[in-house]
Amino acid sequence: MALLEVRGLEVRFPMRQGELTALRDVSFSLDKGERLGIVGESGAGKSVAAFAILNLISRPGYISNGEIIFEGSDLAKMNARQLRSIRGNRINMIFQDPMMTLNPVLTIGTQMIECLRTHMNMSAGQAREKAIDKLRQVQIPSPEERIDQYPHELSGGMRQRVVIAIALLTDPSVIIADEPTTALDVTIQAEIMELLLALCENSDVALMLITHDLGVVSQVTQRTVVMYAGRVVEEGPTRQIIENARHPYTHGLIAALPERTNPGMRLNQIPGVMPSLAAIPPGCSFHPRCEHAMDVCRSELPDYVMDGGFRVACHWVAHREQQP
Amino acid sequence: MSGIAQQGSQPAGDLVKIRGLSKWFPLTKGFLEQLHFEGGKLVRKRESVKAINGVDLDVKRGEALCVVGESGCGKSTVARVVMGLLEPTAGSIEYDGQRIDDLSAERLMPYRRRMQMIFQNPYASLNPRLTVKQALEEPMRFHNPGIGNGELKDKVQDVMDSVGVDPSWRERFPHEFSGGQRQRVSIARALMVDPEFIVADEPISALDVSIQAQVLNLMMDAMEQRNLTYMFITHDLSVVEHFGTRVAVMYLGSLCELAPTRTLFETPRHPYTKALISAIPKLNRDRPAHIKLIGEVPTPIDLPSGCFFHNRCVYANDRCRVEKPELHSVDGGCRVACHGVQEGRVD
Amino acid sequence: MTRYWHLFKDSALLYSFGRDKVAMASFSVLLLLVLLSFSSPLIAPFDPYDPAGIDIMDSDIPPSWQEEGDPRFTLGTDAQGRDMLSTMLYGTRISITIGFFAVLLQSVLGILLGLAAGYYGGRIDAFLMRLADIQLSFSTLMVAIVVLAVFQASFGTELYNDLAIFMLILVIGIAEWPQYARTVRASVLAEKKKEYVDAVRVIGLGSRRIMLRHILPNTLSPILVISTVQVANAIMSEAALSFLGLGMPVNKPSLGSLINSGFEYILSGSWWITAFPAAILIILVLVINLLGDWLRDVLNPKLYKD
């Protein structure tokens, strides 16, 4: 059985113009120790999905449908107290901006020890030992000194390491990383990604990596979920998605990368833009940009078809499957 | 669909010449805070952020020169100094043979319409209170005071068409557009005065992947159709590999390496360039396989002695710690600022 | 123009207004007060500026619902026999006029100086802001009292009475410019860093044009917010000065001078001469402040974007 299973998740935001559906029928699962990538452009709903899992959707948004089964119980139905025992303990989150996690007026040690004592019932001495140990694990040089520093005394890359160390403190079974390296430079991004990958492999933590960067996904994850306009359009093993994407959107996204074209030539662009949630076209939401769009795409929301290890929501793919 | 990297039919020659350029930003502190006791004496110490430290760089007519580096390396400052948005602390900038960094606003005017800029943030680079039409007409009216309304309207229509924004949207305000469309409008504004040189400061880094491709294509088309010269500032090396004719790699406000794009990506010389290129996340790699750098980027307030990169470089020796390397030519049209490369210590 | 109308119709401002009962109520009351007072020559039963229409025999009549009341004077009369209702309508008009024009003067001064300070920075900024600090360290009332008293003493009460309204506008207007200058400077500093300003500098536009055409329109939201509060403040300042006898003369009373003139009789039982104008003053200032609060909530980008 999967460690975390999201089934038919729907999130809505009441707005002036009426309710916006930010997530529609989102399902995916995460096994123990598995690394799952969630890819999409801004506004595709990938961050909303992450926040929804921890029941952290900011008001007035709410989960209107679906289940989030974690270790056998439904997070969507839990009360605040039950959620607290999971959030920050069994499931941890890493944000794009380390300062969303770190309090600027407390030393990193204070924050780590506080976190440990809240969740693990430890003495201050033990907690400090463990905090130093975790800092060492994320390869922070001389952790005994660093632990008494304030976040502003550290560089951006170091801060993100500290955030990872905090996320690992309670030995969680899932880490959700929302664009963890987007704000960092390439060389530091590579280091952080390598670190995250090694930590997940060594301690058997499941990783949900939310990013727009297909390069990062291909290096770190085993399976990938591609989202478009609040819906999962394709899911499959990462390597196969990169090499042989089924959905025209995924295909276009990968083909648009500069490294997929000879230097100096025009890039393969997808025309148009992703629709805003307020104006999602009927039928398949990708059809106005799709070169394979058929009549049925304009009127009917495509169901998921299984194709090898893939799950694809596309009439065109389904249609091709039926052809002998 | 001819390529940019292969484009060689343009008359060669330097359009922009940057010589010994430095830009230091004084850290604004009150007079009392500048005073320090040193050896029993009261001394006044002024600190500055040394954003650019002696950069020599030429932009050749018809090329797309990419300036790359990580945040804080001074690449955007170079762009702003070249455009006259900042005054250089030292050094000179020549445009088409004429020194422009010391010209008065009035005498600079003829150059203003020959060089334009595209900015990073499509949400901040358009005035939210002006319609697209107003934003596009402004530069044209300003540089051609006598222009007729009909001619102006045609020009706006032409340029909007050429950047792929529906001209019937000319009465709309920026907030009605998506990020990609705003960046097209930004490009349109730059193209209104028919410039020959465009400085693009991270023009696609705030955009989504599928939109990045659209905007890059647009910039490449414009280059071909209008014989533009680009100075393209970016941190994204995969874009550089695709777009650039030549690449200048910057670190802490000075140049490490200057080379034709293909040469740079095939045989990077400078240890920093090597690390940078190895860190690009590639689709065909299963795991991160990058060259690790030691240490951290020093602060641009207290620059290291010798080679700025020495504290992060595995090849660094005593000479690197003392003597600052100059750019020197190596085969393949590259110029590298590294003692190790010069001495053959770095392969 | 229709395009701007559509923008306004679909704007968040109007939407929030439609959902905020306090804002709607305040706006209705304010509109009512403004309309009534500015049409006072048409609707007022008497003309309080016409000495021929005033009969001293009608003085100190209580409101009509009281025993000694006179049905001609709904809200009673003051010590000079003027109809309270008419006098208050005219008085409200004066108060609102002074408030509006004083703020207009403040804003013109403050916006220009604030723009210059924020845009040019350096010494100009330091000089103007220290000037503002000095100005702020004198209270508005103190400056006004000194200036008005000196004027009255040197040019005589008669000339003063003729020019009172202009003097009040001038004094209140000049005394409060730093409020605007500081607000404008702060938003200019924020706007100046944005890339669209660099973009027009690249075009080559001069600083005056950049300031007025590009930066100023983007600082309008905070200006609008403090303008409402400042109108209320200016009305209060005028009332306070009039109450102290340095404002509007008795023959052209504003709300403040009405309160003052009634104050002498309050102990002899003529409460209405003070109470009615005071109530109007309080309501006027309150609704303007409530509108200001609402505007600030709607226009504050930090509160607004969440």
- List, for residues A209-239, the tens digit of each pLDDT value: 999 989 899 989 999 999 999 999 999 999 9
Residue range C181-201: average pLDDT? 91
Cα angle C302-C303-C304, degrees, rounded to a multiple of 5:
90
- Are B193 and C198 a contacting pair at CB < 8 A? no
CA distance A153 to A155: 7
Q: How much is the pTM?
A: 0.83
Q: What is the residue type of C239?
A: A
Residues A263-298: pLDDT tens digits? Answer: 878 888 888 888 888 888 999 999 999 999 999 999
Helix, strand, coil percent content, chain B, rounded in steps of 5: 35, 25, 45
Contacts of A138 (CB under 8 A, 6+ apart): A161, A162, A164, A165, A168, A195, A199
Residues in C closer than 8 angstroms to B31, CB to CB, are none
CA distance A134 to A145: 14
CA distance to partner chain A, nearest, from residue B125 (Å): 20
CATH number of the structural domain spanning residue C213: 1.10.3720.10
User: Rg of chain C's alpha carbons, rounded to an integer?
Assistant: 23
Residue appearing with tokens 């140990």: A133
CA distances from C113 to C105, C129, C178, C270 (A): 12, 9, 9, 48
Chains in contact with C, where contact means 3 or more Cβ–Cβ distances below 8 Å, are B
Of A152-156, A315-319, C11-15, the least confident: C11-15
- Are A274 and B208 a contacting pair at CB < 8 A? yes
Q: A186 exposed, middle or buried (CB, 10 Å; 0-12, 13-18, 19+)?
A: buried
Contact status of A279 with chain B (Cβ, < 8 Å): no
Is the model more confident about A99 or about B195?
A: B195
Whether B60 has a pLDDT exceeding 50, the answer reads: yes
Pairing assessment for the beta strands A174-178 and A91-94 based on DSSP bridges: parallel
Instruction: Count how many residues are written for chain C.
Output: 306
The partner residues of A7 in beta bridges, in order of sequence, read A67
Whether A262 has a pLDDT exceeding 90, the answer reads: no
CA distance to partner chain B, nearest, from residue C214 (Å): 7
pLDDT tier for residue B5 given thresholds of 50, 70 and 90: very low
Residues in A closer than 8 angstroms to B178, CB to CB, are 273
Q: Which two tokens stand for residue B12?
A: 């060669």
Average pLDDT, chain B: 87
Nearest to A264 among B5, B290, B293 (CB): B5
Count of beta carbons in the 10 Å neighbourhood of residue A198: 15
Residues B171-209: pLDDT tens digits? Answer: 888 888 888 889 999 999 999 999 999 999 999 888 888
Ranges B199-208, C49-58, C138-147, most confident: B199-208
**Alpha helix segments (H runs only) across chain C:** 2-9, 12-19, 21-38, 40-43, 84-120, 122-137, 140-175, 177-192, 195-203, 207-209, 220-243, 255-263, 272-299, 301-305
CA distances from B268 to B75, B249, B255, B274, B314 (A): 19, 10, 14, 6, 16
Pairing assessment for the beta strands B115-118 and B328-330 based on DSSP bridges: unpaired
> Does some domain include residue C72?
yes
pLDDT tier for residue C266 given thresholds of 50, 70 and 90: confident
Residue of B nearest to A194 (CA): B288
The partner residues of C103 in beta bridges, in order of sequence, read none
Q: For chain C, give the percent of residues with pLDDT over 90.
A: 25
> Does some domain include residue C12?
no
What is the model's pLDDT at position C7?
67
pLDDT tier for residue B1 given thresholds of 50, 70 and 90: very low
Which domains can be identified in chain A, with CATH numbers?
4-90+170-322 (3.40.50.300)
What is the model's pLDDT at position C305?
35
> Does some domain include residue C121?
yes
Among C3, C196, C219, pick the best mutation site for testing chain B contact (most B Cβ within 10 A). Answer: C196
Count of beta carbons in the 10 Å neighbourhood of residue A103: 13
What is the model's pLDDT at position C161?
81
Residues A30-64: pLDDT tens digits? Answer: 999 899 999 998 888 888 898 899 888 887 888 99
Among B123, B207, B208, pick the best mutation site for testing chain A contact (most A Cβ within 10 A). Answer: B208
Nearest to C199 among B84, B117, B129 (CB): B117
Residues in B closer than 8 angstroms to C202, CB to CB, are 83-85, 112, 115-117
- Are A215 and B282 a contacting pair at CB < 8 A? yes
Residues A71-86: pLDDT tens digits? Answer: 888 988 888 888 888 8
Among A259, A276, A291, pick the best mutation site for testing chain B contact (most B Cβ within 10 A). Answer: A259
CA distance to partner chain B, nearest, from residue C236 (Å): 34
Cα angle A28-C306-A106, degrees, rounded to a multiple of 5:
85
- Are B121 and C205 a contacting pair at CB < 8 A? no
What is the model's pLDDT at position B6?
43
What is the model's pLDDT at position B343?
87
Ranges A223-227, A242-246, A316-320, most confident: A223-227
Residues B76-130: pLDDT tens digits? Answer: 999 999 999 999 999 999 999 889 988 888 888 889 989 999 998 888 899 988 8
Residue range B237-245: average pLDDT? 88
The partner residues of B64 in beta bridges, in order of sequence, read B230
Q: What is the residue type of A114?
A: E
CA distance to partner chain B, nearest, from residue C76 (Å): 52
Residue appearing with tokens 């723009």: C115
What are phi and psi for residue A217, nearest 5 degrees? -60, -45
Residue range B57-73: average pLDDT? 91
Residue range B47-74: average pLDDT? 91
Contacts of A59 (CB under 8 A, 6+ apart): none
Q: For chain B, give the percent of residues with pLDDT over 90.
A: 46
Among A41, A146, A158, A187, pick the best mutation site for testing chain B contact (most B Cβ within 10 A). Answer: A187
Q: What is the residue type of B86?
A: L
> Does some domain include residue C247?
yes
**Alpha helix segments (H runs only) across A72-138:** 80-86, 108-120, 124-137
CA distance A78 to A206: 22
> Is residue C69 within 8 Å of residue C62, measured between CB atoms?
yes
CA distance to partner chain B, nearest, from residue C191 (Å): 9
**Alpha helix segments (H runs only) across A124-246:** 124-137, 143-146, 156-168, 186-203, 214-220, 238-244
- Are B288 and A213 a contacting pair at CB < 8 A? no
- Are B125 and C217 a contacting pair at CB < 8 A? no
Assign residue C269 a region (left: φ > 0; alpha: ψ between -120 and 50; beta: otherwise).
Answer: left
Residue range B63-80: average pLDDT? 91
Sign of torsion, CA A15 A17 A21 A22? negative
Residues in A closer than 8 angstroms to B279, CB to CB, are 186-187, 189-190
- Are B138 and C203 a contacting pair at CB < 8 A? yes
Contact status of A42 with chain B (Cβ, < 8 Å): yes
pLDDT tier for residue C164 given thresholds of 50, 70 and 90: confident
- Are B296 and A274 a contacting pair at CB < 8 A? no
The partner residues of B99 in beta bridges, in order of sequence, read B94
Peptide bond into B288 cis (omega under 30): no
- Are B109 and C204 a contacting pair at CB < 8 A? yes
- Are C199 and B143 a contacting pair at CB < 8 A? no
> Is residue A212 within 8 Å of residue A179, measured between CB atoms?
yes
What is the model's pLDDT at position B156?
92
> Is residue A150 within 8 Å of residue A112, measured between CB atoms?
no
Chains in contact with B, where contact means 3 or more Cβ–Cβ distances below 8 Å, are A, C
| Domain boundaries, position C127 | 17-46+59-299
Contact status of A237 with chain B (Cβ, < 8 Å): no
> Does some domain include residue C4?
no
Residue range C185-193: average pLDDT? 91
Is the model more confident about C67 or about A87?
A: A87
Nearest to A187 among B5, B212, B279 (CB): B279
CB pairs under 8 A between B and C: 59
CA distance to partner chain A, nearest, from residue B244 (Å): 8
What is the model's pLDDT at position B93?
94
What is the model's pLDDT at position A170?
87
- Are B125 and C199 a contacting pair at CB < 8 A? yes
In total, how many domains does chain C have?
A: 1
The closest alpha carbon to B61, from B3, B9, B113, B19, belongs to: B9
- Are C202 and B83 a contacting pair at CB < 8 A? yes
Q: Which two tokens stand for residue B128?
A: 């939210």
Whether B7 has a pLDDT exceeding 50, the answer reads: no
Whether C304 has a pLDDT exceeding 60, the answer reads: no
Can you point out the beta strands (E) in chain B? 14-26, 35-38, 41-44, 48-60, 64-68, 90-95, 98-99, 115-118, 197-201, 229-234, 246-251, 254-260, 328-330, 334-336
Q: Which ipTM was obtained for this model?
A: 0.85
Please report which helix (H) or strand (E) contains residue B80, including its range.
Answer: helix B75-82
Residue appearing with tokens 């930066």: C215
